[in-house]
Structure formats: structure tokens, C-alpha cells
Amino acid sequence: MAADSDRSDEPKRPADASREPASGAPTCPHCETPLYKRHCKYVCPQHGPIIDCSDPFR
């Protein structure tokens, strides 16, 4: 038997699913660490401010 790396019985996740954990908080696009909200920004503990409230794409 050959090992099958693509298992068809596993549910497919949307591409955007990895950006927000079950808690609903966004994650850092660089290290996937959950961001915390400070004033009007989402901040990564390692990379600093990632998302600002003035960001038109968020």
C-alpha cells in the first residue's frame, strides 16, 4: 500500500480560515500568532502593529 498524503475524508477549509482562529481574533500574517487589540490597532507581540482601523481592506 502506498501512503496517500491527500485524504479525501478530511474536510476542506477555506483559504481564509487560517487567518482567524475559533475565537474570531485575527492572526499575524507572518507568524500566525493571535493579535491583540490596542486602541485602534491589532498588534502582534513579535512584529508590532499589523492592522490599523484606518485600513480600508479590513
Assess if residue 7 is contained within a domain. Answer: no
Place of cell 475565537: 23
Range(s) of the domain holding residue 43 = 21-52
The pTM of the full predicted model, rounded to 2 decimals, is 0.51
Closest to 45 measured CA to CA, from 32, 30, 29, 33: 33
Residue range 15-46, pLDDT digits in tens: 444 444 556 778 999 999 999 998 888 999 99
**pLDDT at residue 15, rounded to an integer:** 46
Into how many domains does the chain fold?
Answer: 1
Please indicate, yes or no, if residue 34 is contained in any of the structural domains.
yes
Asked if 18 and 31 count as a contact pair (C-beta separation under 8 A), the reply is: no
How many helices (H) and strands (E) are present in the chain, helices listed first?
0, 3
CB atoms within 10 A of CB 28: 19
- pLDDT at res. 31: 95
DSSP 31-49: T-PBPEEETTEEEETTTEE
> What is the structure's pLDDT at 22?
57
